[in-house]
Chains A and B, each alone.
Chain A
Amino acid sequence: MSESVHTVTTLPTGRRAGCPFDPPAELLDAHRHGPISGYTHPGGKPGWLITGYDMMRSVLADPRFSSRKDLMNVVDFELPPAPPGEFLLMDDPEHSRYRKPLVGRFTVRRMRMLTERIEQITADRLDAMEAAGPPTDLVTAFAKPIPTIVICEILGVPYEDRASFQEQIDAFMGGEVSDEELVAAYTATQEYLAQLVAAKRAHPTDDILSELTDSDLTDEELRGVSLILLAAGFDTTANMLSLGTFALLQHPEQLAALRADPALTDGAVEELLRYLSVAKTFHRTALEDVELGGRTIKAGTTVVLSYNTANRDPERFTDPHALDIRRRATGHLAFGHGIHQCLGQQLARVEMRVAFRALIDRFPTLRLAVPAAEVALRPETADIFGVKSLPVAWDAK
């Protein structure tokens, strides 16, 4: 087929001022040419960009596409294999060796059993906000502490270590520090987790990390698993809570509907996940030649998957750029698809259902404390999209 291929030369992942909820215009433009575009990776290697919902779903479910870090063909040097335990960047059977012992601990039922505890953690944060009075930064007062406390409790990070630990994670997830600081934060986190794993092995407590010391995973592997769970466990949900609140405040009719009808909460969470898609891009590498939409993805070529664009695919979602909490958004790709689909998704859902509900119930007059255009967005270098801070106010009683 000699059909010309639309090619994207840069891959912007930041969002435009004034459009903090929408995928970058260049990606939406690429999608108008079709679900797949030509793309050159920053290191000069040829690749592809997938923006279409159906195609992305089939790639994610296709074992001919690998997640392995050492196969990623994006830079002009060979990447090392994923560190022990970091199973996001592995294929089966290695991937499932790590995932299997975790699955039973993140089931729908087990996560729902945490509802009451999460309600209590949320209420504590709202009490503190109310006591301090408006205005406040919702990111530091609410969006970050809730998922941090929850994942630290689940994993078994002692209370007194949480503040310093969150700072380290912020440093390597926030995309705002120098390379040296990034390496320092990563190293400090690894050292902390190594100590934590050793402590749990010596004196098990009632938490997942202690339970995992009974599995066949080594200390080094457990450290990697903990890092994945912590990093995935709070940066994602924290950004969904703050950006989601921003989105609701900018769509007052949606917020009013949600406030009036608690039965809309679960659907609103799914729609916010779809609409905001805070996890930006993932990579897969073809293990053999694969035909996709009339193109041949050559063996060894890496494709970039833009989740936020796929979740706005008009062929899958009617009026995709509208935030509509009543739509059936289930099936969105915000948690991915295939064997790597988010392990913590049921936890994230419970956290968001509880936290959004409690926040809007507690503060009926919640509003931005600055003009929307002045809300600072996270830099393009952050893996997870969101706001740096979200100044909010309300009418104090």
Chain B
Amino acid sequence: MSTPHLSVDRERCIGAGMCAMTAPDVFDQDPDDGLVILLRPEPAAAHGAAAQMAVGLCPAGAITLHEPEAGSS
């Protein structure tokens, strides 16, 4: 994959809501169990910084940002 993309681990998620608060265009919380919902696995450039911040803020380490491998197309 040539663009950065996100993945989430609902097993690790504790529903703190940091991602939905920080990058609401990219993440939401399931209204039933409060756990993360990934709205945009490949966020547009405009949401990239917020998404990256959400990765760093997640208290449970439940969000991963996959950078494209160098040289791949």
Stretch in B27-35, B38-46, B63-71 with 4+ CB within 8 Å of A = B27-35
Residue of B nearest to A345 (CB): B16
- Min CB distance A100 to B, Å, is 7
| Chain B residues bordering chain A, tally (CB within 8 A) | 23
Are the CB atoms of A108 and B59 closer together than 8 Å? Answer: no
Known A-B contacts A339-B14, A346-B17, A346-B21; A106 and B34 likewise in contact (beta carbons under 8 Å): yes
Residue of A nearest to B22 (CB): A330
- Min CB distance B28 to A, Å, is 8
Known A-B contacts A61-B61, A341-B59, A346-B21; A109 and B33 likewise in contact (beta carbons under 8 Å): no
- Min CB distance A88 to B, Å, is 13
Q: Is A254 an interface residue (CB 8 A)?
A: no
Are the CB atoms of A107 and B61 closer together than 8 Å? Answer: no
- Min CB distance B35 to A, Å, is 7
Are the CB atoms of A345 and B17 closer together than 8 Å? Answer: yes
The residue from A103, A110, A345 contacting B35, defined by CB atoms under 8 A apart: A103
- Min CB distance A348 to B, Å, is 12
Q: Is B8 an interface residue (CB 8 A)?
A: no
Are the CB atoms of A108 and B20 closer together than 8 Å? Answer: yes
Q: Is B15 an interface residue (CB 8 A)?
A: yes
Are the CB atoms of B20 and A109 closer together than 8 Å? Answer: yes
A residues 331-387 near B (Cβ < 8 Å) are 331, 335-339, 341-343, 345-346, 349
User: A109 — which chain B residues lie within 8 A by C-beta?
Assistant: 20, 28-29, 31
Residue of A nearest to B32 (CB): A104
- Min CB distance B23 to A, Å, is 11
Q: Within the assembled complex, what's the spacing in Å between the Cα atoms of A346 and B34? A: 12
- Min CB distance A334 to B, Å, is 12
User: A104 — which chain B residues lie within 8 A by C-beta?
Assistant: 15, 29-34
Q: Within the assembled complex, what's the spacing in Å between the Cα atoms of A61 and B59? A: 7
- Min CB distance A330 to B, Å, is 7
| Chain A residues bordering chain B, tally (CB within 8 A) | 26
Q: Within the assembled complex, what's the spacing in Å between the Cα atoms of A105 and B16? A: 11
Q: Is B56 an interface residue (CB 8 A)?
A: yes
Are the CB atoms of A337 and B15 closer together than 8 Å? Answer: no
Are the CB atoms of A100 and B29 closer together than 8 Å? Answer: no
Are the CB atoms of A107 and B14 closer together than 8 Å? Answer: no
- Min CB distance B26 to A, Å, is 13
Q: Is A99 an interface residue (CB 8 A)?
A: yes
Are the CB atoms of B59 and A338 closer together than 8 Å? Answer: yes
User: B28 — which chain A residues lie within 8 A by C-beta?
Assistant: 109
Are the CB atoms of A103 and B33 closer together than 8 Å? Answer: yes
- Min CB distance A184 to B, Å, is 35
Are the CB atoms of B21 and A100 closer together than 8 Å? Answer: no
User: B20 — which chain A residues lie within 8 A by C-beta?
Assistant: 107-109
User: A341 — which chain B residues lie within 8 A by C-beta?
Assistant: 14, 16, 18, 59-60
User: B16 — which chain A residues lie within 8 A by C-beta?
Assistant: 335, 341-343, 345
Provide 30 A-B residue pairs closer than 8 Å at the C-beta atoms, listed in order of the A residue: A61-B59, A61-B61, A100-B33, A103-B14, A103-B15, A103-B33, A103-B34, A104-B15, A104-B32, A104-B33, A106-B15, A107-B29, A107-B34, A108-B17, A108-B20, A108-B24, A109-B28, A330-B22, A330-B53, A331-B56, A331-B57, A336-B59, A338-B60, A339-B14, A339-B59, A341-B14, A341-B18, A341-B60, A345-B17, A346-B17
**Which residues of B are interface residues toward A (Cβ below 8 A)?**
14-18, 20-22, 24, 28-35, 53, 56-57, 59-61
Q: Known contacts A104-B31, A104-B34; can you find 9 more A-B pairs with CB under 8 A?
A: A61-B59, A100-B33, A103-B33, A104-B29, A104-B32, A105-B34, A107-B17, A337-B59, A346-B21
Across the A-B interface, give the 10 residue pairs with the lowest CB-CB distance, nearest first: A103-B15, A103-B34, A104-B34, A341-B59, A107-B29, A108-B17, A108-B20, A341-B16, A107-B34, A104-B33
